[in-house]
Structure 1
Amino acid sequence: MPNTSSFTLTPIHQSIRYYLSMSNLNCISRRLNSEIETTFIPELSLEGSACSAQETQYEWSNEIYFHNGRFLQKQEIHTAFYKNHESSPEHFIGCPHQNLTVHTPHFGIRDGMCEAEAWVRSIPPRCSSHPMQKWNNFQGPYTHITSCTICHSDTECYIQLNGAFLDIRYTCYRDLGAGLDPNDPKWRALLTGTGVNHRPQYEFEVLKRVWLTARQLERRGLEEVTHHTPNGVFHVRSQERDEA
């Protein structure tokens, strides 16, 4: 469904050729049975792969669900930095208010083991005085989770050394609204960035709802990561009882 008009949501990475518009949602919403509470929307879901000019490989997927009168989106991309391979930084966009950049890592040997070190820049930053963080695989896998306080959008990033390459997975979870009105506050915030703070910074309510809906629909590729946040440990499966 390529559609590059200004009324489509920006994909989470430049390699993804998927553009979702309000007209797509509106068309589906008119066709849905009013008695349907939760369903997978195959017409708006797609997966694919891409290769950059530097021969960097990307695998991505986009899934749309309908749950209790709202459209939910799970968009994910996998890529990797390879040792002795020329590559550029990877930039990911969760919504108009949050993004994350993984800079080209340095590979080496430490105590006879492979080592990778990379700078990670996030907006908003984990620490207001340190927008960039240097990560090393000897610290363990890198995990990052963010909830936008304006948009209904939560993101996860997971980085780990896997042999001779640095594996990156970035996932975005969104509540797109009812799909009936382009002026829906949820849609407008995602599309234009306009809106006001209305969500707690570390709530992750959207991530929980989208992930658990995908699990209810028996969708594949659901990863589970434990995150340490200022509000304590967050693990999505632990929230299942609260959402039931």
Structure 2
Amino acid sequence: MMTPVIHRVTQLDLTRSDWQWPFARERRDEIDAHFALKRAEKPQLFNGRVLLARNAQFTGDQFRAEYFETDFASFLAWRDWRCPDPDVFNGFGMGALRASDGAFVLGEMGQHTSNAGRIYFAAGTPDLDDLRGDVVDIAGSVTREVEEELGLTEADYRADAGWSCVVTDFSVAMMRLLDADQPGETLRSIIEANLAGQATPELSGIHLVRSEADFTPSMPLFVTAFMTAQLTPAA
């Protein structure tokens, strides 16, 4: 597994193409069988359309990538089978919510989700709702995921102008700092109250991270790498 590399950018140039994924076509029967097994374990899984990416390029302060449409079943099989097509990656946005006292606010995924138990910032693999014509709107995706998962709107935080793109083996996590005016415990209470009012919340709990001592194995490497960079004082 590669050590995460963080690129700081101010521009995202992310566009959809009509490229067809050979993996999804050539291994269709295996993919469908795998998804049937996963649905038997977690009936709420839905085989909707998602956007994956390829041809990542960092130039100056810009990140560019080409996205293509596929089904969630193909994405799930690719992920679970340790990404057998290395030319494809999951390029997604994350809203790194930071409280006024410096605590980062992360959510733990519920047991009914495909990422059960994982702890990270509000995020989601881009889907067709994130398209503006042929442009993949990651900023809009972050705003939507933060509202859906945490119940917070753009009025509740200040979004940083830039992005920290954390590159790992098969993903590029486009992290955007979201600074709130409330301390961590207050934000946790607000979000937990919102979750209590949801019929089927995606999250099962809220975690605060104030230092590396708060990291857990359930936090993906791209999340801890980003927080380490933010928590480490500049030289």
Which range, TM-score by smaller chain? under 0.3
**Normalised by the size of structure 1, how large is the TM-score?**
0.26
Structure with higher strand content: 1
Greater Cα radius of gyration, structure 1 or 2: 1
Structure with higher helix content: 2
**Normalised by the size of structure 2, how large is the TM-score?**
0.27
